[in-house]
Amino acid sequence: MYGKGELKFIGIVESASEEEVRVRVFPEFCNALKGIDDFSHIIILYWIHLRDNEKERSVLQVVPRGRTNGVKVGVFACRSPSRPNPIGLCVVKLMKVEDCRLTVKGLDAFEGSPIIDVKPYIQRRDAVPKAYTPEWISN
């Protein structure tokens, strides 16, 4: 039984390289992978464990990575790993499902990162055709 608001990790990043990342789903959640191999892409939510400390969780504004103008924005307006709840999200290409392991491309998590959830990427729901972003992202 889970308590209200309790988070339970469902797996871990087992190995990570520039080419591929292998995610091991814990045995008690293996049956939840049924049908996931029918998708070309999936969404992985993970815990940014290397930033899980009081200092990093108290950061509310940052200069986004790669920005040279020095303008700070709130962490909710960027993908900074320093944030009140260090949760990462990535849409990744699913390469292979083998037993309780997913091999993916494009996951920016580090080896040892706990996995929070896996969801299918559904183009008609997850892609927003007329979305816009602020100018500082494209500069």
User: Domain of 20: which CATH number?
Assistant: 2.40.30.70
Per residue in 63-88, pLDDT tens? Answer: 988 776 778 999 999 999 999 999 99
Residue in 35, 45, 23, 41 with CA at minimum distance from that of residue 126: 41
Residue 131 in any domain: the answer is no
Residue 79 in any domain: the answer is yes
Is the pLDDT at 96 greater than 90? The verdict is yes
The total number of structural domains that make up the chain: 1
Per residue in 12-40, pLDDT tens? Answer: 999 998 889 999 999 999 999 999 999 99
Residues in CB range of 76: below 8 A, 6 or more apart: 83
Query: Own/partner pairs for 126-133, CB < 8 Å, 24+ apart?
Result: 126/43, 126/91
Q: Show the domain range for 78.
A: 11-122
Q: 64 vs 3, 11, 57, 76, 83, CA distance in Å? A: 35, 29, 16, 11, 13
Residue in 15, 43, 20 with CA at minimum distance from that of residue 113: 15
Residue 129 in any domain: the answer is no
Distance separating alpha carbons of residues 116 and 12, to the nearest angstrom: 9
117 has which bridge partners? Answer: 45
Task: Provide the pLDDT for residue 2.
Answer: 67
pLDDT confidence tier of residue 105, bands split at 50, 70 and 90: very high
